[in-house]
Amino acid sequence: MDSLECIKTRQSIRKFTSDPVPEKDLRDLLDIARWSPSYKNSQPWNAVILSGAKKKELSKILVECLTGKKQNSPDLAAPVSWPAAEDKNIKNLMAKRMELTGVDLSAPEMIFKAKKANFNFYFAPHAIYLYQDASLSEWSLFDMGLFAQSLMLAAHAKGLASVPQAFATDYAKEVKEFLGIPASNRLILGLSVGYPDMESPVNAYRTERMEVEEFCTFLQ
């Protein structure tokens, strides 16, 4: 797949087939993503890939935390407010999804449902967690974003699909204990990975993007 086409056609997938991805193909994704740029080539990323019984066991732990109303404890706090421009984009997305589904995704019961879907990794055959030493600077968070993007683009180029999930880090302490990640590390992101089910209506909608003129100024 052409690299430009790969960037423009990648999308977050929330319905996967049950077919497992061969371990070699999963390893290939990381082999590609490791070439991502980083501050002074520090390469501040670590990953864990979960499949089969291990993934189901973690899902069970996370869903129990949710249904038991356990206080969440993400290592990266969720935003509590947004500047006007970004807030407008978010509200446009929520309005569009409500128009298409007839469901208010900001309602508490829908947030609960969304979190449960995240904790089940949308029933994808594989889940990936990205983490790094908590003493690293914000530049290393930026580097992890580059790594995550490379990982998702590599998946798309190989006919796979993914979705980045902030909710999957809600119970960071429990996830790190289950995965054997030291408490001195911060859990950055969870991702679901597998083959996309493009027949599912949930994958039919693609989010919109601002036009270049809305976010860029050309000076001569």
Mean pLDDT of 26-34: 98
pLDDT at 105 over 80: no
Q: What is the pLDDT of residue 205?
A: 85
Confidence of residue 60 (pLDDT cuts 50, 70, 90): very high
pLDDT digits (tens, 9 = 90+) for 183-194: 999 999 999 999
Superfamily of domain 3-75+118-215: NADH Oxidase (3.40.109.10)
Confidence of residue 210 (pLDDT cuts 50, 70, 90): very high
Does residue 121 contact residue 127 with C-beta atoms inside 8 Å? Answer: yes
Q: What is the pLDDT of residue 97?
A: 81
pLDDT at 15 over 90: yes
Q: What is the pLDDT of residue 41?
A: 98
pLDDT digits (tens, 9 = 90+) for 111-170: 999 999 999 999 999 999 999 999 999 999 999 999 999 999 999 999 999 999 999 999
Could you tell me the residue ranges of all domains in the chain? 3-75+118-215
**pTM, rounded to two decimals:** 0.95
pLDDT digits (tens, 9 = 90+) for 72-94: 999 999 999 999 999 999 999 88
